[in-house]
Every structure is written in C-alpha cells, then in structure tokens.
C-alpha cells in the first residue's frame, strides 16, 4: 500500500524557515516523481515543487523559486521541502504527492494527508 | 487569475447530471496537454478522480466521466448522490509557466 506521511508543519514568524518531511512507503522511491502541492485556508490547490523519480531533477513554481528547496533522501525514503524567507501568504496545508510515473509531469496519483504551515507574527 | 478557469459552484438534485467546466488557454489545454481531475471531500485531502482526460482512477464509479476539446474540458457527474458533495479541481501542464496549473476549484452541492 502506498503511503505518504507528512510532518514538520508549524507556526513560524515571517522571514523564518521550516523543513517539511514526507515519509514514503509502499513503492520504489526512485521510480516515481514526488511533488508538493499547497492549499491556503479556504483556497484552491497550488503546485509548489516536484522532483523527478529517475534523475532527481527539480522544478519549482515561480512563487517559491529561490526560497524553497525540494530534496529527497533515498536512504530513508523521505522527501523534504525546505522553506526559507517565509511570507504570510505561504500559510497553507502542504500535501506530499506521488506521481503516476518517474516524470514530474505525470498526474498526482497518491496524496498524503497534509501538514499545516502558519506564517504569522 | 488562474490559467484554468472553473465555475465556483454548481448544484443539482439527487439523480441529476451536473457538469463542471474547465476553461484553459492555448498554452495548456489548447496545446494538447492532458487534463486531470481531483475530488476533495469536506475536511479531507484531494484524491485522483480522472487522469488523461477520460480515464477513471481505480474505484471511481462510472457515474464520473471526463472529456476535453480544444481549450476546454469537462467533468460530468451523473446520477448525483449526496456523497458527491465535494470540491473538484482540474489540472494540466502549462507551457508558458513551464509547470503544473490547477483550476480554482468547483464546489458541488446536492440540493
């Protein structure tokens, strides 16, 4: 069974940093793309970042480029998202997702339950 | 403004068919990229509903169907049930932003 379990969400001040983690199981980590999507309170879904399963190439939405960094630890089957220079409008539930194949442009086949990030002073 | 436009809400009585539109542009749906659909039940996380324009995900009843033509796509729900009350999102790749884009979501209400 595919499982994605996020952690690391917290309340942080503007300008602060946070590291989100996603423990994955039930599939070969390097065979599938993994992605972060966020949802601000009462709002829709926004794609944030993705990493390719095969070559580990990374991609970012313009809104987070240069502030967020996606990475994966294949020894522990964990996906990370480092959030720096956080802004109030980064507040959201962050979902970890497994793609349908190794391409970052494959659809979002499995979703985690999300972890909440609140940026406020 | 989202590159994929959905109506904020649609409603219907139980048993009826409702259709959710997803209007794109020449850089996403019009460029031939697939549309995918996700369902988010109240209080829950999203789940895959339809991929590749028309392919239902495992376990999704055939009351749900997807279509795409040109710069537009649609999700139809026939035989509407109370359990179908949820938010629905369309998704596609966009060549102008070189990334995923998602519609603003449509809330389905069963009257």
Q: List chain A residues with CB under 8 Å of B101.
A: 47
Q: Helices marked H in chain B — which ranges?
A: none
Give the tens place of pLDDT for each residue, B38-87: 999 999 999 999 999 999 999 999 999 999 999 999 999 999 999 999 99
Long-range contacts of A66-73 (CB under 8 A, 24+ apart): A70/A36, A72/A29, A72/A34
- Chain A hits for B97, Cβ within 8 Å: 61-62
- CA–CA distance, B91 with B30 (Å, rounded to integer): 13
Find residues 64-103 of chain B whose CB sits inside 8 Å of chain A: 89, 91, 93, 97-103
Burial-class residue B65 by CB neighbours within 10 Å (0-12, 13-18, 19+). Answer: middle
Rounded mean pLDDT of B21-37?
A: 97
Q: What's the maximum distance between 2 C-alpha atoms anywhere in chain A?
A: 40
Average pLDDT over residues A68-95: 97
Asked if B33 and B92 touch (Cβ cutoff 8 Å), the reply is: yes
pLDDT at B2: 73
User: Closest Cα of chain A to B36: distance in Å?
Assistant: 7
E strand residue ranges, chain A: 3-7, 11-12, 18-25, 34-39, 45-51, 58-60, 68-73, 78-83, 92-99, 108-111, 115-119
pLDDT of residue B70: 96
Phi-psi region of A44 (alpha: psi -120 to 50; beta: other; left: phi over 0): beta
pLDDT band at residue B1 using 50, 70 and 90 as cut-offs:
low
Task: Select the residue of B99, B103, B105 nearest A61 (Cβ to Cβ).
Answer: B99
How far is residue B109 from each of residues A49, A118, B10, B20, measured CA to CA in Å?
32, 29, 6, 12
Give me the torsion for CA of A36, A40, A41, A44, rounded to 10°.
-90
pLDDT (tens digit, 9 = 90+) per residue, A84-105?
A: 999 999 999 999 999 999 999 9
Give the pLDDT confidence score for residue B58 in this predicted structure. 96
* Choice between B1 and A93, residue whose per-residue pLDDT is larger: A93
Strand partners, B69: B72
CB B95 within 8 A of CB B22: no
Q: What is the percentage of chain B residues whose pLDDT exceeds 90?
A: 98
pLDDT tens track for A18-65:
999 999 999 999 999 999 999 999 999 999 999 999 899 999 999 999
Instruction: Closest CB to A59: pick one of B45, B47, B99.
Output: B99
Question: For a pLDDT cut of 70, what percent of chain B falls above it?
Answer: 99
Q: Could you tell me which residues of chain A have a Cβ less than 8 Å from any Cβ in chain B? A: 37, 44-47, 50, 59-62, 95, 100, 105, 107-114
């Amino acid at each position: 069974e595919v499982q994605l379990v996020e952690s690391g969400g917290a309340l942080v001040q503007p300008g602060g940093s946070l590291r989100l983690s996603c423990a994955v199981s039930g599939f070969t980590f390097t065979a599938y793309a993994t992605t972060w999507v966020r949802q601000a309170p009462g709002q829709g879904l926004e794609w944030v970042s993705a990493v390719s399963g095969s070559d580990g190439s990374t991609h970012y939405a313009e809104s987070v480029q240069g502030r967020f960094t996606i990475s994966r630890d294949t020894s522990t089957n964990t996906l990370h998202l480092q959030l720096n220079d956080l802004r109030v409008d980064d507040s959201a539930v962050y979902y970890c997702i497994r793609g349908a194949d190794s391409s970052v442009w494959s659809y979002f086949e499995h979703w985690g339950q999300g972890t909440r990030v609140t940026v406020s002073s | 403004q989202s590159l994929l436009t959905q109506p904020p809400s649609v409603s219907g009585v139980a048993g009826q068919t409702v259709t959710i539109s997803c209007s794109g542009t020449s850089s996403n749906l019009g460029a031939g990229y697939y549309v995918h659909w996700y369902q988010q039940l109240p209080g829950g996380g999203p789940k895959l509903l339809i991929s590749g324009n028309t392919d239902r995900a495992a376990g999704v009843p055939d009351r749900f169907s997807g279509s795409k033509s040109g710069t537009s796509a649609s999700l139809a729900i026939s035989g509407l049930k109370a359990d179908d009350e949820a938010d629905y999102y369309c998704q596609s790749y966009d060549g102008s932003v070189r990334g995923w884009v998602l519609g603003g979501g449509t809330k389905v209400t069963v009257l």
